[in-house]
Amino acid sequence: MALAVFLSAAYYVCMSLRASTGESDCYRKARDMGNRTKPGKSKAKTTQQGWPLVVYAGIIGLGLVGYLLGELALVAGPHPLHWLAALIGAVVGGFAGWLWYWRRGDIV
């Protein structure tokens, strides 16, 4: 109750004050508060060419992890299977990078 009385008194004093050159800053700010328009959504300037960095990080990171896991799991297997594991890891990393970019934005 006391807060409401204080705020209404402060508003009344602020609105009734006049500066010697016209209206006071407090009055002008209070009057202009109702005239604000909602700012439009600013369109981001797309100067970026190519893929985001997070996609490259996902491709390299999961490609390397896929190759190393392929080396460990396929020790007796032929070497092209290790590269296939790296390729599958890189593709999964690319999708994971785009998913990250879509949900959280770039990492830069």
> DSSP states of 37-61 as a string?
-PPPPPPPP----S--HHHHHHHHH
Residue pLDDT tens, the chain, 108 long? 676 776 676 666 656 655 445 666 666 666 666 666 666 666 666 666 889 999 999 999 999 999 999 999 888 888 888 899 999 999 999 999 999 999 998 887
Domain extents in the chain: 7-31, 53-104
- Contact status, residue 89 vs residue 66, Cβ threshold 8 Å: yes
pLDDT of the residue at 19: 46
| The predicted structure's pLDDT at residue 47 | 67
- CA distances in angstroms from 60 to 26, 51, 74, 98, listed in the order given: 58, 13, 20, 13
Residue in the structure block whose two tokens are 């970026």: 48
- pLDDT in the model for residue 44: 60
